Amino acid sequence: MPSTSSPSGSDPGSGSALRRYGPIAAIVAVIALIAGVVLLSGGDDDDVASPGTTATGASAGDDGGGTSFSENEAQGLGLPFPDTCDQERGRVAVPLFFAPECYADVADNGGATDDGVTADAITVVVYRAPETDPVLDFILGSIQNDDTSQQAADTYAGLTELFNTTYQTYGRRVELQFLEATGDSTNEGAARADAIRAAEEMGAFAVWGGPALNGAWSEELNARGVLCMGCFGVSEPEPNVFTVVPSAAQNRVHLVEYVTKKLARRPADHAGDPVYQSQERVFGHLWIETSPSSATEAATLASTLGEQGVDIVESIPFDLLRATELAPGIIQRFKEAGVTSVIIQGDPSTPAIFTTAATDQEWFPEWIIGGSALMDLTAFGRTYDQEQWAHAFGISSLTARSAPGVGGADALYQWFHGTPPPADDTAGVLLPQPLIFFNALQAAGPNLTTDTMRAALYAIAPGEASITQPRFSYGDHGIYPGIDPPDHAGIDDYTEIWYDPTVGGEDEIGRDGVGAYRYVDGGRRYLPGEWTDEDRAFDPEGAIAVYTEPPEAEQAVDYPPPGG
């Protein structure tokens, strides 16, 4: 379930930066380092396909796409490139292993090519949620940070300045405007009104983020032709709504393959109850109900598994705000049905409620993490009943964690500005939208329109498998053959995790404690069809909790900062 993050009980001057600045899609993707860097980075040069590139790439009079370094070389065009291009590698000179390909300079950018675009500037509106949001405060109250609203805004501005300086923008600069939301995350009327304000009054070419718990903002902007990056996913995202994390349907593809290959028709040997460890798994499904589509998705998961001979004996929804009331009865139903293994999908706060209820009833099953947002963060895992969560494992679209300062938003900001980001707890939350946007901006070329941006997003292949970055793509790259293209959800591959209650150290927002997720096989990632039948959950060999330095094959070039 998409959501955002805020500290509990924070005052207006000091809290809620995680929640204020956009949807959980951003949080999930970036705490996993810098998800989205591979988007338009090209991987191998053969993966890069600039949309609408012409033989000259010299002006907006062409059909829109920029001219990449590899195209310039292959065609012998002899075009000039920005000073921030490493011309030995053909990559932007930023300290990212997956730095994107350089794009050539142009003589003329075409001026005002679309709404929110002039010869000098591109208007981007950044959504800021209200200070108080009862539902999100309930969900995310156990995650605390002390970043202020101003620090978060300054960090957004600092990241934008970094990309304005280092990436190809064809003579324009991205200018940010911040929209203060007029309603909470569930208020559809306010979301639509705010979207109209962003498009009509603020003149947005694009927006970053949006309300976390309803799609009205995304739908309204989509209808008005405004590019919506990192927005709440909707059932009909075409043409302009792009999320960072996988869609529910994509997540289901991974989950079904994981369950059928690794878990079904085998003993529940990761359960806390020794009796279950010798019994064949009996599956239950615990899922949050937020809309009619929730029930549809749960039924589709059950039927898809059933087609492969895997039964869900109890599929039980819960209401977020009634979880404490409902949990004892739900646990009793699972227990009486003989469930050994619970597939859990929902928000990141209620596992604390359900695992406590399970312990109260002396029921110790396996907890199978079904790809839910934030449930796979150590910061939240530590808030669950540790005796229960010691038997939690499953799938995650996050990449293996790296220690603070080892790549990611903090290191990138420090490299460019010489100081840590002002919002040091939440810099990673703020990074994905500008990162993805600027990557697409380069490839879209000087004739900047929502059409050329969309073409740029669609055009780039996912790249090669790695550990610290996901494969990431939009459009149609044949990754999900059972799902109709184009794909408007970003991350394509998953990894396997399990929870180790004995690992000490800092969590994703720098709090020291005990307990952490481990990443199987060093964080190896899988596209659909690539999952193996080997069950290595709770196998400590090769299971990584945190990388203290990037894997050897993924070391970034250490460039000097521009002007430094």
Quickly list DSSP for 5-31.
---TT--TTT--HHHHT--HHHHHHHH
Q: Any idea which architecture 17-246+406-459 has in CATH? A: 3-Layer(aba) Sandwich (3.40)
Residue 269: strand, helix, or coil: coil
Which residue in 445, 449, 535, 450 sits closest to 79, CA to CA? 445
Dist CA 61 CA 485 (whole Å) = 30
Residue 413 reports pLDDT greater than 70: yes
Pairing of strands 227-229, 241-242: parallel
Q: Which residue has the higher pLDDT, 137 or 234?
A: 234
Residue 239 reports pLDDT greater than 50: yes
Q: Do 17-246+406-459 and 248-396+494-548 share a fold? A: yes
Residue 149 reports pLDDT greater than 80: no
Sign of CA dihedral 181, 428, 242, 213: negative
Which residue in 21, 3, 1, 290 sits closest to 131, CA to CA? 21
Residue 213 reports pLDDT greater than 50: yes
Q: Which residue has the higher pLDDT, 387 or 213?
A: 387
What pLDDT band is residue 150 in, cutting at 50, 70 and 90?
confident
Residue 49 reports pLDDT greater than 60: no
Average pLDDT of 402-407? 79
Q: What residue type is 467 in one-letter code?
A: I
Dist CA 260 CA 268 (whole Å) = 14
Average pLDDT of 298-309? 97
pLDDT at 16: 32
What pLDDT band is residue 39 in, cutting at 50, 70 and 90?
very low
Which class would CATH give 248-396+494-548? alpha beta
Residue 128: strand, helix, or coil: strand
CA of residue 330 relative to chain centroid, distance: 30
Pairing of strands 173-180, 227-229: unpaired
Q: What residue type is 10 in one-letter code?
A: S
pLDDT at 57: 39
128 neighbors 181 (Cβ within 8 angstroms): yes
Average pLDDT of 116-123? 98
pLDDT at 146: 66
Residue 548 reports pLDDT greater than 70: yes
pLDDT at 415: 94
pLDDT at 3: 29
Average pLDDT of 308-335? 96
Q: Where are the domains of the chain?
A: 17-246+406-459, 248-396+494-548
Q: What is the DSSP string of 534-551?
A: ---TT--TT-BS-BSS--
Lowest mean pLDDT among 204-208, 361-365, 477-481: 477-481
Which residue in 120, 33, 24 sits closest to 467, CA to CA? 33
Residue 126 reports pLDDT greater than 80: yes
Residue 191 reports pLDDT greater than 70: yes
pLDDT at 91: 97
Q: Which residue has the higher pLDDT, 81 or 55?
A: 81
Lowest mean pLDDT among 7-21, 61-75, 313-327, 496-510: 7-21
Average pLDDT of 305-330? 96
Q: Compute the mean pLDDT over every residue in the chain, rounded to the nearest whole number.
A: 86
Average pLDDT of 371-392? 94
User: What proportion of the chain, given as a percentage, has pLDDT over 70?
Assistant: 86
Tens-digit pLDDT profile for residues 470-483: 898 999 999 998 89
pLDDT at 144: 58
Average pLDDT of 174-201? 95
pLDDT at 33: 31
Dist CA 548 CA 564 (whole Å) = 27
pLDDT at 64: 55
Q: Tell me the sheet residues that pair with 314.
A: 284
Residue 35: strand, helix, or coil: coil
What pLDDT band is residue 245 in, cutting at 50, 70 and 90?
confident
